[in-house]
Structure 1
């Protein structure tokens, strides 16, 4: 039977080509994902290890934060000072102790625009040795900074900004721009900078003034003398540093291991997401594989029946078909593995080339597990998909050798299938309804999955009425070819359903994503118009904090009538401080002039009375009611109580819990940063006011001044970017679905050779044959598209309803242009997929076709 299976594979290699391609693409997605993730993770770990090559022990002050990250707490407890650094340097076995200060530093180019994205704009201190250079940051040109008027930049940032040694560089932390002289350019193995970030190096005193307080360090990095044991050195260093909860000492190896674990978790998440889309592609491939083997079995009815007649058992017949599947799967898996390696290498080159992603460099990693996974997936998916056709083949009776006709599905089998599909569909609809009612996203997901399975099982039943909708149009426009195409499309509902289902999956997911994206966009746009009364919002681009002086500077800007600054505060709640609550402090006198403050319950003047306002969603989750009193511990350790004065209607411009600034200000450090400043102008939103606000903030490239128009555009750009990425990842499943349509039509042409010959003989010309095949393909693709669009809208509606409490005013929006575009795309796919099969059908010789069995 093995030889028989091998001969069958070789005999039908043309008909199996599309199946091989489908499995190959899915396997390539899997292996490419694994290779890219392993390569990326290995490069990150290698880069990370370089950061700790000269560090034996690190002592970190967890309370020492960049001022822009300050949450309102006062500096309390022990700190790392120059005195501490000197003590540690005197510990036996210590060769050198480096005091480290770091934070954000935005670098503007010569036009004033920020270099980089704002999230990896690093500032640090330059620590020169006896020779005047810092070994951690080797100089490329010039020298290191020596005072508050100087700065050094990494070479790539200097090149991007067009700066040369001696130029004046515009730099900002969280306040006005500083104009500093560029004294040198340097290199670094800091992963953030290597990955495309920027590095600004100040002298130590300046860095301390900008990020901490004079004389204070965030970290002490200890380099040991040769032969010193790191564990013993760690013990000695711990005795030399101040004791406190905020002071933490670890060896360099421990820190490197922690970073490696973070990298591993990050790459695992990436791999999981990508593998999810690979799974979708493979799932689509299952329909194609099952369809192909079903058609092959049907075309070989006489051959398989003769094998039964000469003594082959059912088990042997099943085994022969499964052996074919193994051979096909193995071939596809090997080619898919090679293609996946190529995809990973190409993706790496693309990201580091034209896309300038600055991924860390490293060798391509092809792990044994990747090879095993790719081969196992390819073979298992193919065998799994071929199992039902193999069982069907084993049931062919020997008497079937007397006829070449395909054995129709039994009514009992169809009834069982329809019953199963109906049960799954009803369960899915029930779960969707329950998820929508209870706002349970997981339940909605389960319901969507069950509904998809149910509809897939019911597609043979659905195919006849849905395809029949197009029958009058086809007959009216195309005559006999149109009628024949419609009848061919519904002749074998199972085959039509399997072919269309592959396309349905992709269309369903793409439609649901599009509807959810359009719904979120509309809700966000409405919120930007109704929730925010301010003309402009001033905030840091990297979500860090504004310097508190910025609010006063903005208030003095020409054209400003009202401002309201917001700052976040975390307080401990409960009698023992076992819980915490994140609040936003606002100016009670002006907040209602720059934001819509609509109180559903309680007093509208609650803030002016010194009480809290809590959003309805937060109140429901935490059980807050008007009049409730919260025992709180403020950041400075003082204890007090706060009363819930009102329940606030959800508002995207306000936090879930807001507190009067006057209540918490006495308990905050003077340097506590601001979240944002809301500004209303005398003459509304004008370009003059916008420029005045930029000037008031010193032209800081890290500070963004945005109006409603910019906020809308930014939100839309973010959502569009996410959708485009998802579309790209789903593209593989659509490509595989197209291959399925091509394969089905090509094999359908082969098995209907006699029929096509007879049609030619009675007068249907080659153009009519081509048109018939193309229209049949068009009908199958439109059927899949219609079902996919319908399912996608239903699933998206359920998903949107679960977001109703989280996103104010969200309603389901079905974009008509995009929806029509998906159906048009399905039609185009059907027509393109039929080009080769239609051409092949039209070229068939009439007499040879009529004689075929």
Structure 2
């Protein structure tokens, strides 16, 4: 039986080629994902380990001991001096870091999208020591305000040298800094294309913490002292609000964090590989079903001469195993090539990856073989089981019994139950909260798709019959194409379903993306009256200096920050928004249930409707605040408003909030100008801020355009990943048509003999292909619209401005592409059918 299986694989090489390609594509994506993410993760981890190589123990504030609003207390110079005097400590240094945006010589942000950080060069208490973290390559360390060091990678790609003056920003205002040195580092963020700018410790503290405060203290062990011994000394002698960790633990934590970040990317890419393999299952099942049907006599004769059902099943599964092994090996090699290509692509876009070897782990090899062989054998199991049931008497006939009416009734009943259950789950999920609804909606979507697939043979006849009037225009070829398309509903269903899966996802994603984009645009239009909003390019906090600078502009008519802080209100933690009570009404649109913006001027608090309802607050309620500086104050609710995505929570005037805030910072600043939105006005605002590349100045149209660009990039990426599933679906149509032409050789020969010319034969095969592809396309678009609506119902709870947008132009394009898929897939089978020798075809069995 093993020899028989091998012989059949060799005898049907051309017919099995599409199966090999389908499995190979899916396996290649799986292998490429695993190799690429493992290589990336390994490179970052090794780079991270180097960064911690000289760290024996690190001290950090223990966040778990911090109670109340505001940040946990940082580490003091006194604590650093005390740690340095420990008997097992060989040295100690304090670390400070934060966001720092560097502009290149063209004024553009360097390292955007990756780590753009600033830190301190710790030169000891007297300022004469060296920082072992950052060996100086050129120049010297910064010693005073106005001096910085650049990492060597950034200096190389920007062209900055010692002595150059650079423009940069930490929290908004532009700073002119002189480069006094270049250093080398094993920092993972720098290795990945980020930037690291070093200041002297005093300057770094003034920018990122407070004078004399550190975020972390790093200790090195004295000779003869282990990390564990030094850690024990630290834990015995230092305050409980300080957390001590060994360098090895820090490296392990960093490795786990990197692995978590990579796992998200890994899961995302494997989902699309899974979709491709799922689509490939239809092709494999179709292929083996047709091969079994063509070998009815052969299998029946094998049964007649003594082969058992188990042996016949095993023979077909062995064929699938051989095909799966070949596809898995080719897919693994192709996947390694994909991983190499992805790494080169990142480097080409200046998204540098740390140096390291290509890591082809056992997980990639095992996964490739298991997936390739497993998927192929699983898809071939039903055809193998069907082959085993062929009775020996079937050897007398060239055609085995067709599926019984009972089997079709059972299939349609199961399909209807699955369809109803899936639809009910999805509809039930739309009435839940966003987080609770995700699992039932995903399950419902899967069950619904399976139900539609099971019902597809039943749906094929009426839907394809609807194309009858159009096909009749093509005469005999059109009539034959329609009849051929519904001749074997199961095969047509399996072929169309492969395309349906891809178009369901593409349509659903397009609907959700388009609707979300419109919701965000409407939110900006409805909630904003400001001409411009200003925010950091990385959406971190702005310095209050930005607001002060803009207030001095003569053409500014209204200005308000959106200042963020936290506080305890009646014993519960809440976020606060500080605004200009005088101007905020001119800059935002809010609907009030009671009160107005005027209440802010009197020191009152505005509360959004949801928060007020949750806490049973109303206009006139007195709230007890405990601010981050520890001071307490009673404030009165001056109004209740309807919150939106931009404004929600508790709102008060900045004159009330600022005295209690340690480091005031703004999420954004809203501006209204005399001349409204204009290029000249925007240019004046930009010049007032020193044309800072780290600050975004956006009108409502700019926000809409940026949102549209983000959605377009996201959709293009998803379309690219889903294109593989569509390619596999095309292979499925080609495979089905090629085998269908082979099965109908005698019939085609007879048609040619009675006068059907080659051109008409080609047209017949093409039309059959287009009908099958459009059948899959219509079902895919229908399901995609339903899922898009269902997801939109969930998002509507989060976005008050969300409404369903059906992109009819895109849907028309998708159906046109489905028809094009049909034309493309029919090229080779149609040509083969037209070139068939009619006499040889008539004699064939």
TM-score normalized by the length of structure 1: 0.94
Deviation at 1:509, TM superposition (A): 0.1
State the distance in 2 between where 1:443 and 1:260 align. 33
Deviation at 1:609, TM superposition (A): 5.8
Residue matched to 1:221? 218
1:66-89, Cα deviation, whole Å (9 max, x unpaired): xxxxx99668757321x4333322
1:498 to 494, 507, 513: 494
Aligned partners of 1:33 and 1:344 also within 8 Å: yes
2:694 to 695, 702, 705: 702
Residue matched to 1:363? 357
State the distance in 2 between where 1:8 and 1:308 align. 17
2:398 maps to 1:404: yes
Aligned partners of 1:506 and 1:730 also within 8 Å: yes
Aligned partners of 2:172 and 2:536 also within 8 Å: no
2:293 maps to 1:298: yes
1:717 to 709, 716, 728: 709
State the distance in 2 between where 1:374 and 1:620 align. 55
Residue matched to 2:776? 784
Residues 189/755 of structure 1: CA separation in 2 closer, same or farther (3 Å cut): same
State the distance in 1 between where 2:523 and 2:256 align. 40
1:596-631, Cα deviation, whole Å (9 max, x unpaired): 111246667554565544445556777766676655
Deviation at 1:446, TM superposition (A): 2.7
1:90-135, Cα deviation, whole Å (9 max, x unpaired): 2223222122221111111233222221652111122358997644
State the distance in 1 between where 2:522 and 2:408 align. 50
Residue matched to 2:822? 830
1:426-465, Cα deviation, whole Å (9 max, x unpaired): 1222222222233534333333222211111111111111
Aligned partners of 1:598 and 1:604 also within 8 Å: no
2:375 to 381, 397, 402: 381
2:726 maps to 1:734: yes
Aligned partners of 1:78 and 1:244 also within 8 Å: no
2:72 maps to 1:80: no
Residue matched to 1:549? 545
Once the two structures are superposed, the pairs formed by residues 502-541 of structure 1 within 5 Å of their partners are: 502-541=498-537
Residue matched to 1:173? 170
Residue matched to 2:198? 201
Once the two structures are superposed, the pairs formed by residues 654-669 of structure 1 within 5 Å of their partners are: 654-669=647-662
Q: Which runs of 5+ in 2 are unaligned?
A: none
1:453-484, Cα deviation, whole Å (9 max, x unpaired): 111111111111111222221221x2111111
Residue matched to 1:794? 786
Deviation at 1:516, TM superposition (A): 0.6
State the distance in 2 between where 1:658 and 1:135 align. 47
Q: Give the paired residue count.
A: 838
Partner SS for 1:803: helix
State the distance in 2 between where 1:647 and 1:771 align. 69
1:787-841, Cα deviation, whole Å (9 max, x unpaired): 1011101110111111112112211111122111111111111111111111111
2:810 maps to 1:818: yes
State the distance in 2 between where 1:327 and 1:376 align. 13
State the distance in 2 between where 1:308 and 1:326 align. 22
Residues 644/336 of structure 1: CA separation in 2 closer, same or farther (3 Å cut): farther
Residues 611/501 of structure 1: CA separation in 2 closer, same or farther (3 Å cut): farther
Residue matched to 2:5? 5
TM-score normalized by the length of structure 2: 0.94
For the aligned residues, what is the CA RMSD?
2.5
State the distance in 2 between where 1:628 and 1:422 align. 56
State the distance in 2 between where 1:466 and 1:390 align. 30
State the distance in 1 between where 2:616 and 2:492 align. 54
1:235 to 223, 232, 243: 232
Deviation at 1:542, TM superposition (A): 1.6
Residues 152/603 of structure 1: CA separation in 2 closer, same or farther (3 Å cut): closer
State the distance in 2 between where 1:22 and 1:749 align. 20
Deviation at 1:696, TM superposition (A): 2.9
Q: Which runs of 5+ in 1 are unaligned?
A: 64-70
Residues 170/828 of structure 1: CA separation in 2 closer, same or farther (3 Å cut): same
Once the two structures are superposed, the pairs formed by residues 552-631 of structure 1 within 5 Å of their partners are: 552-573=548-569, 575=571, 579-600=572-593, 607-608=600-601, 610-616=603-609, 631=624
Stretch of structure 1 that moved more, 488-497 or 680-689: 680-689
Stretch of structure 1 that moved more, 523-532 or 103-112: 103-112
1:260 to 249, 255, 279: 255
Partner SS for 1:804: helix
2:276 maps to 1:281: yes
1:708-762, Cα deviation, whole Å (9 max, x unpaired): 1211111112222222222222122111111111111111111111111111111
Partner SS for 2:266: helix
Deviation at 1:662, TM superposition (A): 4.0
